[in-house]
Structure 1
Amino acid sequence: MVNYVKSLKLKKVPHFGGLTPFLLLGYAPSLALWGGATVAAIFTFTEHWPLFQDTFYKKLPIMGKLWIKDVDPQDLPQ
């Protein structure tokens, strides 16, 4: 015979503002791609700002030497 269910047994899924862990897991690749693109855009558009050069770019381990300018002493104004 068939056993009928008297009422549904529901589990409460943990959420924060409607975002569940499974929903965030589905969005993770897209969020990673857009996050990487945002960081690349910030690096691109702030490359020539002296504040960013001194704070971030000159301290990069491999490419930091690209932003350090060695000017010949004869070319400096007196």
Structure 2
Amino acid sequence: MVSYISQLTSKSAGRFNFKGMAAIAPDLFLWGGAWAASLMVFTEGWPRFQSTLYEKIPYFGQHWVDNTPAEDKPN
């Protein structure tokens, strides 16, 4: 006969509470910032990301605007 367990028996799941989340929040912000920075580094040369995201960043967006005259472009 099969017996079913009605509750989670693993203690590794733990409980989510404010104190526990407040303790790991700085680490989550640090790793989230590192993830966002690495995403920006790896996608900086992609034209679609340049026109969609990076050109719209205030003050720094002008770095990705292409001001090359049409006669100097290879197309």
Bin of the TM-score, shorter chain as denominator length: 0.7 to 0.9
Question: Hey, what's the Cα distance between the residues in 1 that align with 2:74 and 2:47?
Answer: 20
SS class of match (1:48)? coil
TM-score scaled by length of structure 2: 0.72
Deviation of 1:77 (Å): 5.2
Q: Rg: which structure is higher?
A: 1
What RMSD, in angstroms, separates the aligned Cα atoms of the two structures?
Answer: 1.7
Relative to 1, partners in 2 of residues 1:69 and 1:18: Cα closer, same or farther, differing over 3 Å?
same
Question: Hey, what's the Cα distance between the residues in 2 that align with 1:29 and 1:59?
Answer: 28
Give the fraction of aligned pairs with identical amino acids, expressed as a percent.
Answer: 40
Question: Hey, what's the Cα distance between the residues in 2 that align with 1:74 and 1:39?
Answer: 36
The answer to which structure, 1 or 2, has the higher relative contact order (CA under 8 A, 6+ apart) is 2
Q: Stretches of 4+ moved more than 6 A in 1?
A: none
- Cα offsets for 1:14-46 (capped at 9, x unmatched): xxx721111000001111110110110111111
Which ranges in structure 1 are unaligned for 5 or more consecutive residues? Answer: 1-16
TM-score scaled by length of structure 1: 0.70
1:27 alignment counterpart: 24
